[in-house]
Chain A
């Protein structure tokens, strides 16, 4: 069974600081997706990483994928309060369109 692990599970950081969230997965996949979820809300797509070495950036967030290491990172630069949310990585089961989601990282940015 495919396992997707994120760390940390909880992250409290001050505004202006940098931090990285890690996503490890247990099987071969050339794709990985990052989502954001606000409390009580649905999932918002952040990044679609489609190949080894892929790097995507949007505002203060940057995501990368290393398929050989089975690792993706979500880097936060100069955090602001609006980034407070839960972040999920998701890996598709090979040859299928079924996603396995990580446990999520709950991020709180403190003023």
Chain B
């Protein structure tokens, strides 16, 4: 069992809508990162949160935003959805030097 839980597992949204994805981090892990994985590609870094503050951001537009809560759970919000936002969204929690533990992901389809 991964210890990182994401919800929902699948989601279908219409272009222009907004979506919120949720992640519950593994106990004791105070860093959470979000990745986008388009079909047939490797995951791409969206952003990372450490102790409730954004601690790094990849090459994604501002309509991708996030939150981390005191219990280290996290949300990824995407506004004004585009068709290219269709992907598997992965949440990962981590401790330094030990790499990530990934959640099972949320499959987002934008139609």
Contact = CB atoms under 8 A, between A and B. Distances in A.
A and B together in one complex:
yes
B101 A98 contact: no
B56 A102 contact: no
Interface residues of B, number: 26
Interface stretch (A40-48, A65-73, A75-83): A40-48
Given A42-B2, A43-B102, A98 B56 contact: yes
B61 interface: no
Given A96-B56, A97-B48, A97-B94, A102 B99 contact: no
A42 B103 contact: yes
A43 B102 CA distance: 6
B104 A97 contact: no
Interface string B22-50: 00000000010101000001111100100
A4 B45 CA distance: 13
25 contacts: A4-B42, A33-B99, A40-B107, A42-B2, A42-B102, A42-B105, A44-B102, A48-B97, A48-B98, A50-B97, A90-B99, A96-B56, A97-B31, A97-B33, A97-B48, A97-B55, A97-B96, A98-B48, A98-B56, A98-B58, A99-B100, A101-B35, A101-B43, A101-B44, A103-B41
Contacts, number: 58
A1 to B, nearest CB: 9
B4 to A, nearest CB: 9
Size class of A's contact patch? 20 to 34
Interface of B: 2, 31, 33, 35, 41-45, 48, 55-56, 58, 90, 94, 96-105, 107
A103 B104 contact: no
A58 to B, nearest CB: 15
B7 to A, nearest CB: 13
Nearest to A47: B99
Contacts of A96: 56
